[in-house]
Amino acid sequence: MMWFSVFFVFFFFKKRQKANPQIVSCALYFPGSVVRTFTPFHFLVEPMDVLSVRGASVIMNCSAYCETSPKIEWKKDGTLLNLVSDDRRQLLPDGSLLINSVVHSKHNKPDEGYYQCVATVESLGTIVSRTAKLTVAGLPRFTSQPESSSVYKGNSAILNCEVNVDLAPFVRWEQDRQPVFLDDRVFKLPSGALIISNATDMDGGVYRCIIESGGTPKYSDEAELKILPDPEEPQSLVFARQPSSLTKVTGQSAVFPCVAVGFPTPYVRWTRNEEELTTEGSERFLFLAGGSLVISEVMEEDVGMYTCIADNGNETIEAQAELAVQVPPEFLKRPANIYAHESMDIVFECEVTGKPTPTVKWVKNGDMVIPSDYFKIVKEHNLQVLGLVKSDEGFYQCIAENDVGNAQAGAQLIILDLDVAIPTLPPTSLTSATNDHLAPATTGPLPSAPRDVVATLVSTRFIRLTWRTPVSDPQGDNLTYSIFYTKEGINRERVENTSRPGETQVMIQNLMPETVYVFRVVAQNKHGPGESSAPLKVATQPEVQLPGPAPNIRAYANSPTSVTVTWETPLSGNGEIQNYKLYYMEKGQDSEQDVDVAGLSYTINGLKKYTEYSFRVVAYNKHGPGVSTQDVVVRTLSDVPSAPPQNLTLEVRNSKSIMLHWQPPPAGTHSGQITGYKIRYRKVSRKSDVTESIGGTQLFQLIEGLERGTEYSFRVAALTVNGTGPATDWVSAETFESDLDETRVPEVPSSLHVRPLVTSIVVSWTPPENQNIVVRGYAIGYGIGSPHAQTIKVDYKQRYYTIENLDPSSHYVITLKAFNNVGEGIPLYESAVTRPHSVPDPSPMMPPVGVQASILSHDTIRITWADNSLPKNQKITDARYYTVRWKTNIPANTKYKTANATTLSYLVTGLKPNTLYEFSVMVTKGRRSSTWSMTAHGTTFELVPTSPPKDVTVVSKEGKPRTIIVNWQPPSEANGKITGYIIYYSTDVNAEIHDWVIEPVVGNRLTHQIQELTLDTPYYFKIQARNSKGMGPMSEAVQFRTPKGSNSPHGSPTSPLDSNMLLVIIVSVGVITIVIVVIVAVFCTRRTTSHQKKKRAACKSVNGSHKYKGNSKDVKPPDLWIHHERLELKPIDKSPDPNPIMTDTPIPRNSQDITPVDNSMDSNIHQRRNSYRGHESEDSMSTLAGRRGMRPKMMMPFDSQPPQPVISAHPIHSLDNPHHHFHSGSLASPTRSYLHHQVNPWPIGTSMSHSDRANSTESVRNTPSTDTMPASSSQTCADHQDPESTTGAYLANAQEEDSAQNLPTAHVRPSHPLKSFAVPAVPPAGSTYDPALPSTPLLTQQAPNHPVHSVKTASIGTLGRTRPPMPVVVPSAPDVQETTRMLEDSESNYEPDELTKEMAHLEGLMKDLNAITTA
């Protein structure tokens, strides 16, 4: 029966508490009972904020309820008031506080502050009320006073009387010393100003405002208000008072004044968030006379932008103001009463809302709860109490407060004995660790103590405990365990329960590092908890000592783009601080930036202007980063806007006014709060301008008072407190010559166009042709089959509109009418059918893969690829196609070229030679297309140059008038890497190209020197480029005349020593020539046998058709050579290889062109250097002395010849390049010449016609040398010559050491009008000769008894491959006397033994001649 009574009382008060949520509880004690229950304990009345005046009396209301009368006390600013000895303050019987004669002065304000009521019940606890603020109004003082003014009848007037906000409620007005009665036409603003709307004659008079705040009233100055009759002309529409932004608390009233004056009298309407605002059906919104808006009992949903629009028919003006609403704290979830046992963990839950977001603090029995290890704030607002002890009982209150209010809610905690079961089901406020204590116990044996409690894992912040089951229950399957633990020396014990029955281990978490804890384990069965295990002491591991947070972090802005952050050294540095890391982030962004700092301050530059940033600091020691500081937020300083306003537009209203509209500068460029805009305008014809400033956020302005038919320019700049930002560009508009007509409706729009879509139709139009009639807007009507179903009106400036939410595949009729204040004009009709629903675009296709580029030629590349969307066999069965695109990166702005293909390859043609291209492919199938594939690259092959070298210039070398320097630039179409150039020059620009002198240049050099030219002579120069594919075209001829000066016969000054030596040489040559002629004549008369005649006949047949065959008396015998000690006769076999490879370089200049056959002669050769070498320069200058230009052509059948014995005399020269190892013989004079004697290869009695030779002539390679020494040569026919009988000759070896594969060469030195120089001939038209290879003059082959001619040949190189006939150029014949002697000498034939004797005799003569010349 007693238990029934207890629960009856308990549920009775629970019901009371639900009815009144402010009820906490009062505990009831039942004699002899073991359970205490909750009874109500709450405030009936709490103090509210009060505004008072000096000397008045104030009552702060408070009343608390409990069955045991509570004791009431008061706190002021957190301190208890001693009311016993206070004669001005007294406690009323209901608990309210009475303050008599409020004291308030400038330096003494004892009564102003925050008051709180405290209610206490002995042995139960204490509760506190909300805090209430007592505000005492200051001394009466006017910040602005009314001024005399006049107003037109029907307009509104404003009389200012600005006072302190605290005094505004105490302001009243008088008219002619009589009180003014307020209504919706005459009303007072919260600031104290008086607004009179729809002024009448009765409103005229003298006005003053009065402050009645207790004591003597304070009067303002008087001001007279005059009422004027209606003006005859319209007056400009302006705002006398604009609304300003407000911040209100829910429940308060908000007043937006909006007073517009002008004539005609304006009509005022309001919008909220661009939606029309009406008062119909709303008791909270009220429009006062004149247009002001009053919102009573403001609610949170009233926030927004309010716009006041004034319109008098002639013009419209707007003003905006924003309403922000603040909400005092409100409880979403209040704390609940809790039963608990000792050692439990509990949570008091508290959820609040408000604007700004409230802060929460907890109070226990009237005292602030300080967070600690056992009292923690969790989930922002909830209070968690760990390890309950008996002293934790009492009343806990959650107090929420923000800038506009505070509130409190409380609950009681009762701790029961361990042997008393909690009488209710587990509340949600108990933690999971303590829920097992809520099961009621039954009678029965209890378990003994758990055995062998040990700590198996010890860390810095957690410990794992294990144990064995009690002796009383060895199985222990139904046992649960509670682990009690506490810090050593602390009486507050916490508990942790195992998660399931039978579990014999637990993890204790959230411990402190390096701390000793005491653990004990208690087993529990269905009858209740058993014995406790012996206490176990365990110390957690020490934690790595990291720095604590840096205290006193501060941030302040230095400039619009920099902030300085300072802090102090952490109190717990745990060692030396190595450095700090400063983190900062723009407000609203997610990415945080950091910078390393060595000191205690840092200035961050480069920030955005007028932007909020958050900063925090982390200290680092040798162990790593420490605890971060709290974020500090600072805003960079403002600056002038960094960008002009946007979208400035001009609208000509009439002949005297233009409306300007604009948008603010782009976001991020304001650099502060935009405080207004500055407008500058001027006549286009003048430079002086007028400035007009606009405050606030208005984005339009009407400029009036302009002249008719005049063009004006306007520009707008944004303003901040720092100054004016950049202005827009000038925008011009011209006022009308005359005002527009609005006495009739507009005419029909000049055009109407519709563009149907699936669910919408885009309508566009042009205005009526008659622009003299006012158009206020356009009315668009539309519907299915009829245009009158719906109508939309748009602004007169609009020229298009999209009709949305239409039905697909439907026929709509559309009408358009222009309208003004008179009415709507004539409609214009149009119809359209919306499109049907279309299937959405499918997903894109996969791009082709494996794109490869295969180079086929200099202008063609094949592109291949694979398509993963095709079957494995890559067979195309549908209508897909591929698009190939390609481009080259030179030049960089080259555009792509494209082509379509239906197969998996494409041949790209028309490309540039030697150019890198990139290729990619995409596939298209129906409306689906892929992206471009990965690129493939390919470089086309080279091609011969297709353009000549550019910018050819010729200049004379300073100090050397006979030396010129040729400069040029590479060809624009080189088509490959340039490997060399050929310089052609001549004194006759009309001469055949094969008669020009050539100069080879190896590599990509762009300059060359030519020596020993004739003075005061015009020369013409051409240049030809060469790459690996061949020769390009020649440049245009460039003329250059050498300077005037003295010339020597051979192109160089002749010294007296040279003249003497030349005389000796000429005499010696004459003597030798006579001796040889005599010897040859003697031998020729002895050879009379028929066998010798046959051989002579055979020799004649070889050259019988030579075009130089003629009268022997016209031929002059050739010059002989000097300083030749031996003459070698050596057979040379032709290579049996029918296709030997010819080198690609047509003009080689290396040591492989001339190689001695007998290496044993190297030492002698090196001792006899060319005496003419001294005239060469180090940079590839050509001496041209002794080179021959004009030569007749001849054909030679090389390939038809068997192996031929050859007598060769080689000059071995030193070339310009020191790396070219040419062997040279010593020359005594510049006239020294060399011969190649080639014997007849055919047997006696055979002959070859000239035509046979022409058909078998071989194309050979021209190899000119920069210092070639040409000479005349003669040939004799012989049956046999012993190779060992002659030792003084050398063979020309080109690029191979095997002399059997080389043909003989000879270097000739005839005279030439320019200089002595060997010029390769150019092949005639129609020749099969390869144009990339210049013609090569070959050595003529002659039979005995025929004239021997002086020839010049170039080094042939490795020949043997059959080539078609080619022209061969030979030099001009020598003088007549020399030729006659040569022919006479060649008429005689000798036997081998006779010839050997004569040669030995000749050798002796040569030695004698050497002795003479060397002496």
Per-residue HEC secondary structure of 885-916 comes to EEEECCCCCCCCEEEEECCCEEEECCCCCCCE
How many other CB atoms are there within 10 angstroms of residue 1143's CB atom?
Answer: 14
Asked if 1101 and 1244 count as a contact pair (C-beta separation under 8 A), the reply is no
What are residue 127's DSSP bridge partners?
Answer: 119
Asked if 1000 and 1264 count as a contact pair (C-beta separation under 8 A), the reply is yes
What predicted TM-score, i.e. pTM, was given to this entire model? 0.39
How many other CB atoms are there within 10 angstroms of residue 890's CB atom?
Answer: 9
SS3 399: strand
The pLDDT value recorded for residue 215 is 67
What are residue 397's DSSP bridge partners?
Answer: 363, 410
Residues 6+ apart with CB under 8 A from 246: 254, 256, 321, 322, 323, 324
- Cα separation, 561 vs 550, whole angstroms: 25
Asked if 1089 and 1397 count as a contact pair (C-beta separation under 8 A), the reply is no
Angle between helices 1376-1386 and 1056-1086 (to 10 degrees): 40
Q: What is the DSSP letter of 1299?
A: G
The pLDDT value recorded for residue 1347 is 40
Computed from CA positions of residues 172, 176, 178, 183, in that sequence, does the dihedral angle turn out positive or negative? negative
Computed from CA positions of residues 547, 552, 555, 558, in that sequence, does the dihedral angle turn out positive or negative? negative
The pLDDT value recorded for residue 1007 is 93
Pairing type for strands 316-333 and 246-249 reads: parallel
Backbone angles phi, psi at 629, to 5 degrees: -75, 170
Asked if 1340 and 1278 count as a contact pair (C-beta separation under 8 A), the reply is no
Which amino acid is it at 438? Answer: L
- Cα separation, 191 vs 254, whole angstroms: 12
The string of pLDDT tens digits covering residues 647-696 is 999 887 788 888 899 999 998 888 888 888 999 898 887 777 777 777 67
Asked if 787 and 814 count as a contact pair (C-beta separation under 8 A), the reply is yes
Q: Which two tokens stand for residue 29?
A: 């004690």
The pLDDT value recorded for residue 883 is 95
Computed from CA positions of residues 427, 428, 430, 436, in that sequence, does the dihedral angle turn out positive or negative? positive
Q: What is the DSSP letter of 1197?
A: B
- Cα separation, 1003 vs 1026, whole angstroms: 9
The pLDDT value recorded for residue 489 is 81
Cα 389 from chain centroid (whole Å): 64
Per-residue HEC secondary structure of 911-935 comes to CCCCCEEEEEEEEEECCEEECCCCC
Find, among 526, 337, 332, 524, the residue nearest to 428 by Cα: 337
Find, among 228, 238, 294, the residue nearest to 266 by Cα: 238
Token match 């470089």: residue?
Answer: 939
What are residue 703's DSSP bridge partners?
Answer: 658
How far is residue 1119 from each of residues 204, 663, 879, 1411, measured CA to CA in Å?
A: 142, 103, 85, 19
The pLDDT value recorded for residue 834 is 92
How many other CB atoms are there within 10 angstroms of residue 650's CB atom?
Answer: 18
- Cα separation, 1376 vs 1167, whole angstroms: 37
The pLDDT value recorded for residue 946 is 92
Angle at the Cα of 270 from the Cα atoms of 264 and 276, rounded to 5 degrees: 120
Element (H, E) at 378: strand 375-378
Find, among 1172, 1295, 1299, 1286, the residue nearest to 1224 by Cα: 1172
Asked if 716 and 728 count as a contact pair (C-beta separation under 8 A), the reply is yes
Find, among 518, 419, 522, the residue nearest to 470 by Cα: 522
Asked if 573 and 557 count as a contact pair (C-beta separation under 8 A), the reply is no
- Cα separation, 947 vs 191, whole angstroms: 91
The pLDDT value recorded for residue 198 is 82
Q: Encode 1324-1363: b = buried (16+ Cβ within 10 Å), e = exposed.
A: eeeeebbeebbbbbbbbbbbbbbbbbbbbbbbbbbbbeeb
The pLDDT value recorded for residue 211 is 82
- Cα separation, 428 vs 351, whole angstroms: 14
- Cα separation, 724 vs 538, whole angstroms: 71
The segments of the chain whose pLDDT lies below 50 read 1-19, 21-23, 25-33, 425-428, 432-441, 1046-1057, 1088-1091, 1093-1390
Which amino acid is it at 1263? Answer: T
- Cα separation, 1259 vs 592, whole angstroms: 80
- Cα separation, 40 vs 365, whole angstroms: 15
DSSP secondary structure of 975-994 = -S-EEEEEEEEES-TTS-GG
